[in-house]
Amino acid sequence: MPAKPRNIAEYLASLSKEKRAALQKLRKDIKVAAPKAEETISYNMPGFRLGGMLVWFAGYKNHIGFYPKPSALKAFSKELSIYKSSKGAVQFPLDKPLPVGLITKMVKLRVKENAEKV
């Protein structure tokens, strides 16, 4: 992977086919949930911003890291309890389907939170 990817396409191009496919799916799901959000690279990870940062994501050896800020993880803690998580991140295993509905809800919450900041 390049030390500092310039855009999401460059980041994805550096990944294995399996990881790239999973992250492209996640990217598409985020775009559907937040169609006005802009793609960005922040902290060397793909992310989306709309009135500030919404979410980040990244590919790792055995999982996808999803970083929707602690408020979203707290709001959906029950649904996220089956995944490994921390205060600011959740890990979605590469060998399981992405929880699209849950991701959509977290992204929409983040859109709402950022809109309320303005």
Residue 104 lies in a domain: yes
Residue 117 lies in a domain: no
Question: What is the arithmetic mean of pLDDT over 94-104?
Answer: 95
CA distances from 102 to 30, 68, 98, 108, 118 (A): 11, 11, 9, 10, 25
Is the model's pLDDT at 1 over the cut of 50? no
Residue 1 lies in a domain: no
The structure tokens 């900041």 sit at 117
pLDDT at 50: 97
Share of the chain above pLDDT 70, in %: 97
Which tens digit of pLDDT belongs to each residue from 37-73? 999 999 999 999 999 999 999 999 999 999 999 999 9
Residue 3 lies in a domain: no
Residue 2 lies in a domain: no
Residue 106 lies in a domain: yes
pTM score: 0.93
Looking at the structure of the chain, the number of domains it has is 1
Average pLDDT over the chain reads 94
* Domain interval for residue 47: 8-112
Higher pLDDT, 8 or 117: 8
CATH number at residue 36: 3.90.1150.200
